[in-house]
Each structure stands twice: as C-alpha cells, then as structure tokens.
Structure 1
C-alpha cells in the first residue's frame, strides 16, 4: 500500500492496529514481524523506504504467507507518517527497554500504532518524539533486550489481549 491507501483504509477500520518498524534491517525480522502482525489482525506494517529491510524473498519465506495478507506501507518519512496517523486519531506507542511503563499499563485496545526500533539502536529520535507513550516489556533474565520480532509479537499480542478483554466486558 501507499501512505494514501493506508489513510483511506483507516476511514473504515474499527480500532485499527498498526505496526511501525523504525529501521529494522534484517529481512528475517521483517518477515517474522509480518507473520505476527497477521496473526494479531494488524491492518498494516509501516517501514521507512530507506535504511530498512525490504520485502525480499527471504523475508517473504519467513512471513509464511503473511506478506500477501498484511500490507507493507513503505514511507519516505516515518516521523511524518506517525504524525499523520496521530492526526487521524491513532495513539503511537513506542517500545523502549528503559520505559517507565509496561505495555500492560497502557491502553492498547483503541486505534494504535506500535512502533519498534532497529536491532541494537532502538527508536530514532524523531520517531520517539512522535510517540504518545513509551512502553517496555518486563524481562527477568540477564540479557537486557529482546529480538525486535519477538518484542513485536509480544506487544501485538498484548493489544489483542486488551481488545478481547474489552469486548468481553461490553457483552
């Protein structure tokens, strides 16, 4: 999809869930993120056009079909796109290992973009500035970071968990 197609799709989407990958370089991670995004019902995955993994045959193989079901939106300026999404009514929630809030402490049941940064460097400054919240995932082991595709899957699932809990409570 183009950025315009994404914005058009938001007009009819109820509580859209989007995944934004800020400079993820590894095609395997892109493919795994697509697979998780599809499993969790994400509307699309947004990636910067430059300095990010492309939808290569390797990424498609890891995605196991999700590259055909979950649109990838390649944008020129991720920070500008996040700003447009905020103007369209979505919250932008960034992942940060040092965040003061955990993912389960922030409302992910409404229209939301989950933003994750590149392996090793995390979210870039301008991406971070466009986040309404920064959240972390509790880690009990000695290693202080998760693979980006694992973190994406965990955050996407937390959004699904909250959405299902909300729908059960409104019955």
Structure 2
C-alpha cells in the first residue's frame, strides 16, 4: 500500500526517511529553485523523479497546497501500545478527540521536535492520517513512532502499569502541570479543544493538570497546549536535582 505526501518540507522528510522505498517524486515542470532542489535531493537518494505541469499536480492532490511537489510513499508503520519501548526518559503524547488534521499534524510536529518517543490516539473520534495532516506536521510524521489503539483508556492504563505517569491536560485541572513530577517516563494526554478529554480517559490518568494562565482567556489551542506541556517536561528534566 502507498500514500500521497505533498508540500516541500513533507516530501523532503519523506525522502530523508524512506529513500528509494518511495515509489516516485513528482515535481512541477519548470518549477522554482526550491522545487528543483527537492527533485535533486530525491534523485540523490535513488528515488525516481518525474516532472508534470502544475495542473496535473493540482489534479493528483485534489487541489491541495502541494507547493509544486508530491511523493508516493509507503504506508506509515502503526504499532500497538505494547510495542512502545518504555525508558526512564520516555515521553508519550496521547490524543483524545483531536478531529482537526491541522491540530493533529501540529501536535505531531511539536512532539517529534521535543523528543516524544510515541504518539497514541484512538481509531475512532480522531482525524484520519491524511495528506493534509502530513503537511501540517511539516514532515515530522515520517519520524514519529505511531500507535493507534481501539481503546485509549485501556492503552493509558497499560502504560501506567509499565511505570509511566499519565497526566491529562485540562483547563479545570486541580493542580498545575509544573507541580507534577515529570522527570520519569510520562504520558501527556491532550483532549479536544471544545470538550477536553473524555471522562473515561480522565479516569485512566493519575493526574489531571492545567497550564497556568495569566490573561483573560482560559484555554489554549490543543497544539499550543501540547507544545507547552512538552516544554515543561524538558524544563523539569534540565533542572539539577
């Protein structure tokens, strides 16, 4: 099976990770120097590169923002949560009800950039893995360890049984995230922007914590909240004990 990836950075990362396992890269005929550079990068990795007029790329991507380049890539590897290696420094990001592919992709981008070792989400009530989501991640999805599960509460309990501290972000949480010890293996649960994490998911968490807010707005975009939470994990781990 294969999937479509488009956009300069997503295609570049797909080439970087998969190399000649890509079926092909298609670049816009007479495209900009940036587009041509992606084509040369792909050729250097042994990937078959084709050219096509922009209208053809528009057609293949369904009018998506392809920036003059697309790739046909192998399917992403999806693991079970029991296949996640849990180390003292593990950081798992769990998503509950993230339906917007832009938010999903942005969270994946932050998670990969900030050292998350796994991303877990339920197979239902979630944005699908799609070219729009791949693009929103700026190619970070190619580097991520992905776990799609049938039951997120069960997956979180499984992680807790393996020594992972599971914390849900919630604007009404009884404690701040900074008050929770995040120096061991942790899982940060990010819920839907409108409803937050489901009650069954909250019950599977050892802590429900909020991010401290100083202004009149009481909550943040899910992807921003996730990035700040991951920074708090890194901050605690860099403070001398």
Normalising to structure 2: TM-score of the pair? 0.65
Q: Which residue of 2 aligns with 1:125?
A: 199
Instruction: Quote the residue 1:69 is aligned against.
Output: 143
Q: Which moved more, 1:50-59 or 1:19-28?
A: 50-59
Q: Which has the higher contact order (CA 8 A, sep 6+)?
A: 1
Structure 1 ranges of 4+ moved more than 4 A: none
Question: Of 77, 80, 84, which residue of structure 1 is paired with 2:158?
Answer: 84
Q: Let me know the Cα RMSD of the aligned residues.
A: 1.3
Query: For 2:99, what is the secondary structure of its paired residue?
Result: coil
Q: Which residue of the partner structure matches residue 106 of structure 1?
A: 180
1:41-83 CA-partner distances (Å, limit 9, x unpaired): 0011111101101221111111112100112211100001001
**Alignment partners' CA distance in 2, 1:19 and 1:101:** 19
Task: Return the index of the structure with the highest Cα Rg.
Answer: 2
- How many residues are aligned here? 164
CA deviation after TM superposition for structure 1 residue 25, in Å: 0.4
Residues 11-35 of structure 1: per-residue CA shift (max 9 Å, x gap): 5x33210000011100000100001
Structure 2 alignment gaps of length 5 or more:
1-77
2:167–2:187: 8 Å Cα contact kept in structure 1?
yes
Q: Tell which deviates more after alignment, 134-143 or 60-69.
A: 134-143
Q: Does 1:48 align with 2:122?
A: yes
Report the secondary structure of 1:10's partner residue: coil
Q: Contact conserved, 2:84 with 2:118, CA < 8 A, in 1? A: no
